[in-house]
Amino acid sequence: MDKEKLITPGPSGYMPTPGAFMGVELPPPGKALLYGEIVDEETAMREAAKAMLTRRNPTIFPGPLVLWGWNAGAMEKAKAVLELAMEIPNCRIIPMPDYRPKYPKIDPEAEINPNHPNLTILHNKIEACIFVGVHCHYANLSLRMIRAGTNCFTIALCAEMGHEDAMVSLRDVHAEEIRKFKDVLVQVRKELGIEWEPKLPPENPSLPKEDWTKISPLDFGEYAALLMPRKGEVVEESE
Amino acid sequence: MDKEKLITPGPSGYMPTPGAFMGVELPPPGKALLYGEIVDEETAMREAAKAMLTRRNPTIFPGPLVLWGWNAGAMEKAKAVLELAMEIPNCRIIPMPDYRPKYPKIDPEAEINPNHPNLTILHNKIEACIFVGVHCHYANLSLRMIRAGTNCFTIALCAEMGHEDAMVSLRDVHAEEIRKFKDVLVQVRKELGIEWEPKLPPENPSLPKEDWTKISPLDFGEYAALLMPRKGEVVEESE
Amino acid sequence: MGLEYVKISPGFEKYMPRDYVDLVTFGQFGKQVDVMQLGQFKELVEEHPMCAGCYMAYFIRVFYAALPNPEDTIVLGTAGCARLALSQAAVPFIYGNYGDTNAVASGLKRALSIRFPDKVKDVVVIAGDGGLMDIGFGMTMHSWFRREKFTTIMVDNEVYGNTGGQESGMSPKGIQLKMAPKGKQFDKINAVELAQTAGCVYVARISPTNPKRIAKVIRRAILAAREFGPTFIHAYTSCNIEYSIPTREVLADARAREKKDFKFYEWMTDEVKEYLEEIERKEKEKAKQEVQK
Amino acid sequence: MGLEYVKISPGFEKYMPRDYVDLVTFGQFGKQVDVMQLGQFKELVEEHPMCAGCYMAYFIRVFYAALPNPEDTIVLGTAGCARLALSQAAVPFIYGNYGDTNAVASGLKRALSIRFPDKVKDVVVIAGDGGLMDIGFGMTMHSWFRREKFTTIMVDNEVYGNTGGQESGMSPKGIQLKMAPKGKQFDKINAVELAQTAGCVYVARISPTNPKRIAKVIRRAILAAREFGPTFIHAYTSCNIEYSIPTREVLADARAREKKDFKFYEWMTDEVKEYLEEIERKEKEKAKQEVQK
């Protein structure tokens, strides 16, 4: 590559110029973005694979569009994401199940939130990650924040037109394209001489779950009093 | 005067730069504006007097603040305006009694309206005029319009701080200052060798008035029917 | 404002336009005129650019004749037909931004009370259905909640007449208009009921077919607002253009609506009733005495 | 939205945070929960940054438990305390500009009806007294005039709590607040009466002391809005900060107000009454049958 790399892992400062303002254009169909430059898909995939294979704590961040089985395509895509995860040595999956704010605070080992992705990335020392199934407006927000405050290499597997602020951005990515990327990754892994038996990442550390069926109203502290009729109290009907 | 004359009689075009934008500053107490430059009161008065004595159809436009006898000061000022008018050969008085719009159209011989002063000025070929007793915001509006569309020499006898868009602008002008200006004018008139016996300007051409006491409801055309109870109609009380 | 503002400076009588001399000599300032004498005195508004046959223009003409103290009155209007005549009148007029009239009137009335503690200054809003009940709805109602002491008159032509005929909240249900081709989907807003709920002390609904009654309602609304709180008049003033009413049938239409959904309605609090009755009783006595003299 | 959105993609169950797995497994989606079972199921909103002892937070908690179809519901809020909890819930939330909630909800409800003609999607606005009855007053009332089919819930804390304690139109007359040191000059707005005048088909006023009743009212308001038109709930949710109510006395305060000016009130049109009675009769029968099984 002769051209300067425009979009590289950060930290690039509190409010970095957005990729789009730096002249990065979204790729046409069949092409991809690598460091802000339009390149062949294959080239971009190989670099993305290399990052996930060689950088510390590679992690996949699946968003609502793959986590929730809202249609057959989503479920198939989810399956492909797991197949990909199996091929990345010591890969983790940290989900972004929705976009609501998290107060009083997020559990950075259990999930990632688009409004403060760095909490999860810095806590887990993640230096390479994949965004997949995140709605574009939240992916845009998060990817720029990650470039601003972390040294994480970001890869956007986008079902739409891609993202200027990711180091690698593929477009029109559905189950089939994820599997194609997986094949490229396996190929690169072999070239790099990395040995790996495919296996699924570890489960979410917030599990196993407590048994909610055994919880009593009394566990609800000061509000419990509001829930149960008191001695002599008659709970009236509305009519 | 060495300086260029900034504010001169027009027509200076549809939307002339306001005097204030051209760098004209309002005069400090005791000073006046002449062609946009701060000068002694006497100098400005002499130029104003010369304009009213030598240009065509000199006219005084008294505004609501002198036309209506709302306090003793206003009435005294009104008296001084008439004294001044008497000394200007062939002077006319065309009033601006208020600022409301005039539809369907104004009578340009009977009055002047701040929203379209040029109708009156051009109709009467007025080439020198005095604004007195006009509220500043409407004087500002009118004076700039007059400079834009006519060749009228404008003199603002302002009770406040003056007006950038008049050729001559005196400040803090009340009855006493009007009389002082009258004295200067009489002096200049003598220097110019103009002979004139003081007399009041002609009365408003819209007078004498019709006798309203003799008008009947039938004069009100189609609406008359609404005013009078019809045969057999009972006009109900509201209760 | 005040009678001294309609007194010509001595010496200037012969320099004033006839219109103004007539206003001072034969106008309503400082007098109490009877609306039935319209045509026998110089009116506060005469020429205006409203459409021929406009019933709103007629209503406004009667409104000015009905003012108890024109020399101490400020009228507020906003975008819409009414202000074309209101701004032409010989009574100070303020143009509120669309929807803002009752907020501006609130501030104005309060300021006048402070500036002239010993004088009565009347503030009257006249605006259309759009300005008062659609876009200005919040400001209108909140001025009533706050019990601001001025009068609001809605000249209801049931349409956005100035902008090509969009439906307003006051258009009748089902009506088709030039820019409401599918017909209005919901009911006409019950402005009078809302005014009562919101705290108006005097409320009237009127189809202006009887000038004496119009004048009486306007006078009562203004007098009650001085002492007790917000007052409201809902007046039907048809748009003969947008509703395609032939000019000669404008009055017939107003009469028909009066029989239907614009039946005369007047409501006031007990204290307002007592106050107005006392004033009107005294006026009648005074009139009787003058006749006897 | 819809139950398919709360089904975890196969294989991902073990990668989801526990909170979400619990929501799916022990939550309300696709079920009908009884508010008296609160604590025995995973709630839609749990942690939030509202003040300790905030009665509004309690009301919101019961609100979510009462939703008839959380998986097909969109909640709208605006600036103010309530949205701090609303935006944290596992139900889609839209933030309307201050005053705009009911305009946004109108468009949203209409769009959902077009996009999903065969499904019921519930739209519920929850906003404060300022957002709904002061600044948003016009939009609130006009959504009712237009008979838009969604529910508006006013969580009335009688103050602008988030901005330091200014009076609102809903503050009681005479009350002194941090930024209303002279005391409020006019009466509390009668929101319930306005809602009825404006065309709401179901209207309730409630001081939330009885969770079963709160849930019933919310459910009725949402069910009625689906079929007939706008519905409104006026809920007293004190601001213990601005009104200086000790945390332990928050419930006592709600009970005291319930006895005074927040007496339970419920009104509905005849057709709504018939409709709800039919639904509730069927539910009771079904419950009885299930017990018998």
What is the set of domains in chain D, with CATH numbers? 52-292 (3.40.50.970)
D169 chain-C contacts, CB cut-off 8 A:
142, 145
D20 chain-A contacts, CB cut-off 8 A:
95, 97
Within an 8 Å CB–CB cutoff, is residue D189 touching chain A?
Answer: no
C132 chain-D contacts, CB cut-off 8 A:
none
A215 found inside a domain: no
CA–chain centroid gap for C186, Å, is: 27
φ/ψ of residue A142, rounded to 5: -65, -45
Query: Are chains C and D in contact at 3+ CB pairs closer than 8 Å?
Result: yes
**B189-198, C155-164, C217-226: the lowest-pLDDT one:** C155-164
C102 chain-D contacts, CB cut-off 8 A:
none
Each of the 239 residues of chain A gets a pLDDT tens digit; together they read 445 799 999 999 988 999 999 999 999 999 999 999 999 999 999 999 999 999 999 999 999 999 999 999 999 999 999 999 999 999 999 999 999 988 778 899 999 999 999 999 999 999 999 999 999 999 999 999 999 999 999 999 999 999 999 999 999 999 999 999 999 999 999 999 999 999 999 999 988 655 656 656 666 666 666 656 566 666 565 43
B1: pLDDT confidence band, cut at 50, 70 and 90?
A: very low
Pick among D129, D134, D186 to test the C interface (most C CBs inside 10 A) = D186
A2 found inside a domain: no
Helices and strands, number each (H, E), in chain D:
10, 7
Q: Please check whether residue C234 is in contact with residue C217, taking contact to mean a CB–CB distance below 8 angstroms.
A: no
Give the pair of three-digit tokens for residue D190.
């009668």
| Euclidean distance between CA atoms A93 and A109, whole angstroms | 10
Please report the pLDDT score of residue B220 as a whole number: 63
Query: Are chains D and B in contact at 3+ CB pairs closer than 8 Å?
Result: no
Say if the Cβ atoms of C194 and D197 lie within 8 Å.
Answer: yes
Q: Coil, strand, or helix at residue C236?
A: strand
C216 chain-B contacts, CB cut-off 8 A:
237-238
Query: Closest chain B residue to C20 measured between Cα atoms?
Result: B97
Say if the Cβ atoms of B226 and C266 lie within 8 Å.
Answer: no
Residue recorded with tokens 């200052």: B177
A218 chain-D contacts, CB cut-off 8 A:
39
| Euclidean distance between CA atoms D162 and D179, whole angstroms | 12
Q: What letter represents residue C131's amino acid?
A: G
C267: pLDDT confidence band, cut at 50, 70 and 90?
A: very high
Query: Closest chain B residue to C46 measured between Cα atoms?
Result: B103
Q: Which of B70, B75, B103 sits opposite C88 (nearest CB)?
A: B103
Q: Which of C134, C145, C186 sits opposite D186 (nearest CB)?
A: C145
Say if the Cβ atoms of B82 and C12 lie within 8 Å.
Answer: yes
Q: In the sheet that C151-156 helps form, which strands lie side by side, from edge to edge?
A: C93-95, C73-77, C122-128, C151-156, C231-236, C202-206, C265-268
Q: Measured between alpha carbons, how far is residue A133 from residues A69, A95, C289, D21, D34 in Å? A: 12, 10, 91, 19, 35
| Euclidean distance between CA atoms C169 and D8, whole angstroms | 47
Please report the pLDDT score of residue D247 as a whole number: 87
DSSP structural state of residue B27: P
A130 found inside a domain: yes
- Cβ-count burial A27-36 (b if 16+ within 10 Å, e if not): beeebbbbbb
Which ranges constitute the DSSP H helices of A172-217? 175-191
- A126 Cβ neighbours under 8 A, 6+ residues apart: A56, A57, A58, A59, A120, A150, A152
Question: Which of C98, C208, C90, C105 is CA-nearest to residue C162?
Answer: C98
| Euclidean distance between CA atoms D12 and A75, whole angstroms | 10
B1 found inside a domain: no
Q: Please check whether residue D139 is in contact with residue D103, taking contact to mean a CB–CB distance below 8 angstroms.
A: yes
pLDDT digits (tens, 9 = 90+) for B226-235: 656 566 666 5
Say if the Cβ atoms of D199 and C186 lie within 8 Å.
Answer: yes
Q: Please check whether residue B133 is in contact with residue B67, taking contact to mean a CB–CB distance below 8 angstroms.
A: yes
Q: In the sheet that D231-236 helps form, which strands lie side by side, from edge to edge?
A: D93-95, D73-77, D122-128, D151-156, D231-236, D202-206, D265-268
D22 chain-A contacts, CB cut-off 8 A:
209-210, 212
> Could you tell me if residue B183 is left (phi over 0), alpha (psi between -120 and 50 degrees) or otherwise beta?
alpha
Q: Which of D135, D146, D169 sits opposite C186 (nearest CB)?
A: D146
| Euclidean distance between CA atoms C1 and B92, whole angstroms | 28
Question: Which of D33, D105, D101, D102 is CA-nearest to residue D63?
Answer: D33
B227 chain-C contacts, CB cut-off 8 A:
36, 38-39, 211
Residue C73 β-bridge partners = C122
A136 found inside a domain: yes
Q: Please check whether residue D37 is in contact with residue A219, taking contact to mean a CB–CB distance below 8 angstroms.
A: no
B32 found inside a domain: yes
How many other C-beta atoms are found inside a 10 Å radius of the C-beta of residue C38?
22
Between positions 86 and 115 of B, the ones with CB within 8 A of C are: 93, 95, 97-98, 100-104, 107, 110-111
Within an 8 Å CB–CB cutoff, is residue D267 touching chain A?
Answer: no
A209 found inside a domain: no
A196 found inside a domain: no
Q: Which domain holds residue B75?
A: 19-191
Please report the pLDDT score of residue D9 as a whole number: 96
- CB burial of residue C221 (10 Å; 0-12, 13-18, 19+): buried
Q: Measured between alpha carbons, how far is residue D171 from residues A212, D58, D160, D264 in Å? A: 41, 21, 9, 19
Give the pair of three-digit tokens for residue C262.
């614009």
Within an 8 Å CB–CB cutoff, is residue D188 touching chain A?
Answer: no
Query: Closest chain C residue to D139 measured between Cα atoms?
Result: C138
Q: Measured between alpha carbons, how far is residue B155 from residues A123, B152, B196 in Å? A: 77, 10, 22
Residue recorded with tokens 């709180």: C229
Within an 8 Å CB–CB cutoff, is residue A233 touching chain D?
Answer: no
Within an 8 Å CB–CB cutoff, is residue C213 touching chain B?
Answer: yes
C89 chain-B contacts, CB cut-off 8 A:
100
Within an 8 Å CB–CB cutoff, is residue C273 touching chain B?
Answer: no
Q: What letter represents residue A86's amino acid?
A: M
Within an 8 Å CB–CB cutoff, is residue D98 touching chain A?
Answer: no
Pick among D134, D142, D146 to test the C interface (most C CBs inside 10 A) = D142
Q: Coil, strand, or helix at residue D147?
A: coil
Say if the Cβ atoms of B95 and C58 lie within 8 Å.
Answer: no
Question: Which of D219, D252, D218, D248 is CA-nearest to residue D235?
Answer: D218
B103 chain-C contacts, CB cut-off 8 A:
47-49, 84, 88
Query: Closest chain D residue to C186 measured between Cα atoms?
Result: D146
| Euclidean distance between CA atoms B130 and B47, whole angstroms | 13
C20 chain-B contacts, CB cut-off 8 A:
95, 97
Show the CA angle centred on residue C111, arms to residues C109 and C115, nearest 5°.
120
- A102 Cβ neighbours under 8 A, 6+ residues apart: A111, A113, D47, D88
Each of the 293 residues of chain D gets a pLDDT tens digit; together they read 688 889 999 999 999 999 999 999 999 999 889 998 888 899 999 888 888 889 999 999 999 999 999 999 999 999 999 999 999 999 999 999 999 999 999 999 999 999 999 999 999 999 999 999 999 999 999 999 999 999 999 999 999 988 889 999 999 999 999 999 999 999 999 999 999 999 999 999 999 999 999 999 999 999 999 999 999 999 999 999 999 999 889 999 999 999 999 999 999 999 999 999 999 999 999 988 888 87
Supply the CATH number for residue A44's domain. 3.40.50.1220
How many other C-beta atoms are found inside a 10 Å radius of the C-beta of residue C134?
22
Model ipTM value? 0.80
**Which H or E run contains A40?**
strand A37-40
φ/ψ of residue B84, rounded to 5: -65, -45
B66 chain-C contacts, CB cut-off 8 A:
9, 12
- Cβ-count burial A67-94 (b if 16+ within 10 Å, e if not): bbbbeeebbbbbbbbbbbbebbeebbbb
| Euclidean distance between CA atoms D99 and D161, whole angstroms | 16
| Euclidean distance between CA atoms A128 and A90, whole angstroms | 12
Query: Are chains C and B in contact at 3+ CB pairs closer than 8 Å?
Result: yes
Q: Which of D36, D89, D90 sits opposite A227 (nearest CB)?
A: D36
Instruction: Specify the number of domains making up chain A.
Output: 1
